[in-house]
Structure 1
């Protein structure tokens, strides 16, 4: 982060870069939510929870770990998990190794929901993000995103279990 948090207004060049980034930050989540809601009755946030649990060993994660992956408060995660529990896709249990923690456990029907919702979601991500960029631009996007994320704070983001690199 900048040493001087009150550095003045953005320059014209900075605004030329920031305006499309800000627009992307608003439009992409809206497009992802719309597709998932329409096709699967899930928000992007809920799908991310189900997907992370589906990818975890034994389809189980501590809710505190899951909240870190989702960059959200435990309160927000708890509300989402309650909605997913009501649909029978997730259940909670006390962590048997440390009773201070609660586990989120993907149910078999939750796994089925992930399997049903993921292909169309990935197709939209591929269409909106990857197909609009060259291979070099995709690599640049990864590096740029990692640098901005690092500037925000420590990286506790979720990663797929097998990360394939080009």
Structure 2
């Protein structure tokens, strides 16, 4: 864990540059996606994950983990997309307690139309601006931070939850 000291100018430059770049790039990509395909960023993420999976099907839990979303967020997004005929939700034949999210033809056509335009915008506004060495460094940085965050999540999940102590401050009143 960090020591809480103020950021050095170099650190501040890197952090604020990253934040500003990430926000501006994400906004540009989302606006282009909406304008060019009528899909929201969330629509695209779900459709892309399903399109990339065998048979265009994923268990809800696997889809949620692949996206890094909360259960309620995925549930609401799937419901809205199902209403638009992009996907459907079916009982999981292997486990009645879970569901499978399935890509429908309309959703497949939507992602297949959107992906080339999205990729072209991503290349033009980000990937093509970087050298191969910069791309490799960015990938390494991302993998390092994500691995650290995953380890922290595992450690938090392994800790016993802090239940209120009956003899704690509230009991002393």
* TM-score (structure 2 length as normaliser): 0.83
Match of 2:148 in 1: 151
Match of 1:65 in 2: 62
Query: Residue 94 of structure 1: CA displacement?
Result: 0.8
Query: Residue 67 of structure 1: CA displacement?
Result: 1.0
Match of 1:103 in 2: 100
Q: Does 1:87 align with 2:87?
A: no
Contact 1:36 1:42 in 2 (8 A): yes
**Which structure ranks higher in relative contact order (CA pairs < 8 Å, sequence separation ≥ 6)?**
1
Cα deviation, 1:48-86, whole Å, max 9, x if unaligned, reads: 110110111110001111111111101111111112111
Match of 2:41 in 1: 44
Match of 1:136 in 2: 133
Report runs of 4+ in structure 1 exceeding 4 Å deviation. Answer: none
Larger radius of gyration: 2
- Runs of at least 5 residues in structure 1 that lack an aligned partner in the other structure: 155-166
Q: Quick check: which one's helix share is greater?
A: 2
Match of 1:22 in 2: 19
RMSD: 1.2
Contact 1:29 1:44 in 2 (8 A): no
Aligned residues: 151
Contact 1:90 1:104 in 2 (8 A): yes
Q: Distance in 1 between matches of 2:78 and 2:114?
A: 17
